[in-house]
């Protein structure tokens, strides 16, 4: 499992890139989002991706039945936690303006694609 720290470093790099891009985009006048909103949302989605990857790679050290269960738990937990974040973002915080909705879905897509691509790359190398 030498690749786990490398993937965590890539996740941190993705988070830094997202925060830097958010800082530069939000510094333009007329954007209806604050950097605090961007940082809070990206950190929460990054944390969810981290938890998902840790559960997934923990299962890679187990026997095949446990590997499958860990993969399912990781994906299910990711879905449920992101659903909770979406509910809090849209209904509790009332972030229903177009810039907030676009921000949420762009960040959701970025971190979800990151997690899925790492999982697929890892599973591609496994022989059944």
Q: Is pLDDT larger for residue 3 or for residue 40?
A: 40
Could you tell me if residue 128 is inside a domain? no
What is each CA distance from 5 to 30, 40, 120, in whole angstroms?
39, 24, 17
Could you tell me if residue 127 is inside a domain? no
The phi, psi pair for 31, rounded to 5°, reads -85, 130
Could you tell me if residue 44 is inside a domain? yes
| Number of domains comprising the chain | 1
With the C-alpha atoms ordered 14, 17, 19, 22, is the resulting torsion angle positive or negative? Answer: negative
Could you tell me if residue 71 is inside a domain? yes
Task: Tell me what the mean pLDDT of segment 9-16 comes to.
Answer: 96
pLDDT in the model for residue 29: 77
Look up tokens 């809070």; give the residue: 40
The phi, psi pair for 32, rounded to 5°, reads -90, 30
Q: Is pLDDT larger for residue 86 or for residue 25?
A: 86
Q: Which of 95, 107, 98 is nearest to 39 (CA)?
A: 107
Give residue 73's domain range. 3-122
Taking only the tens place, the pLDDT of each residue in 46-89 is 999 999 999 999 988 888 888 889 999 999 999 999 999 999 99
Query: What is the distance between the alpha carbons of residues 48 and 84, in angstroms, rounded to a whole number?
Result: 11
Q: Are 19 and 12 in contact (CB under 8 A)?
A: no
């Amino acid at each position: 499992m030498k690749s786990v720290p490398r993937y965590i470093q890539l996740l941190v790099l993705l988070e830094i890139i997202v925060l830097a891009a958010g800082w530069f985009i939000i510094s333009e006048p007329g954007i209806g989002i604050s950097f605090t909103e961007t940082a809070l949302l990206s950190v929460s989605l990054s944390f969810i991706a981290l938890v998902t990857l840790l559960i997934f790679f923990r299962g890679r050290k187990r026997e095949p039945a446990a590997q499958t269960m860990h993969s399912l738990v990781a994906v299910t937990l990711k879905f449920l936690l992101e659903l909770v974040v979406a509910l809090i973002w849209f209904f509790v915080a009332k972030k229903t303006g177009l810039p907030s909705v676009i921000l949420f879905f762009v960040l959701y897509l970025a971190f979800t694609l990151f997690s899925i691509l790492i999982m697929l790359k890892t599973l591609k190398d496994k022989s059944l």
